[in-house]
Amino acid sequence: MIIGLGSDLADIRRIQKTLDRFGDRFVQRVFTEIEQARSERRKERAASYAKRWAAKEACSKALGTGLRMGVAWREMGVANLPTGQPTMILTGGAKQRFLSLVPAGWEGRIHVTMTDDQPYAQAFVVIEALPADHPQPPYPTRG
């Protein structure tokens, strides 16, 4: 069952201006180490950060909180499964909110899709709950 849905559209030019103005201070405040490592390797660095920005916004909407109620930027991080498929790693207040949404006896899954086409980056996040005995591929967990 779907228990959360969020989407966001980010302007890559705006992220580029923010990177130019605030540089590492912005990157450290918003993005996890995994996101930074992935984005810094990209030729289109700003587009990579913009997709991850959009995914965080979409995730906060799927959690039903936005960036408040104990949910912070670095508590949501885009990571990739062994298949390459993106997902979100949650920690702190974001993880607590996620766990509160999942019914007892069910397992929560977070599905993420991201894309960019200059000058925009877009992300969708779906939070799903499945019965705990439902066979699933392994998903990364941290925190």
Q: Tens digit of pLDDT for each residue in 80-100? A: 999 999 999 999 999 999 999
pLDDT value at residue 70 = 78
Binding residues: 8, 57
Distance CA 30, CA 39 (A): 13
Distance CA 87, CA 89 (A): 7
96-134 pLDDT, tens digit per residue, is 999 999 999 999 999 999 999 999 999 999 999 999 886
Given a cut of 50, whether residue 139 has pLDDT beyond it is yes
Indicate whether 140 belongs to any domain: no
- Tell me how many domains the chain contains: 1
Indicate whether 45 belongs to any domain: yes
Binding residues for Mg(2+): 8, 57
Higher pLDDT, 136 or 40: 40
Indicate whether 139 belongs to any domain: no
Indicate whether 142 belongs to any domain: no
Q: How confident is the model at residue 143 (pLDDT cuts 50, 70, 90)?
A: very low
Alpha carbon of residue 13 to chain centroid: 20
**Domain of 27, in residue numbers:** 2-131
35-69 pLDDT, tens digit per residue, is 999 999 999 999 999 999 999 999 999 999 877 77
CATH of the domain at 81: 3.90.470.20
Distance CA 80, CA 82 (A): 7
Q: Phi and psi dihedrals of 108, rounded to 5?
A: -90, 145
Indicate whether 137 belongs to any domain: no
Indicate whether 73 belongs to any domain: yes
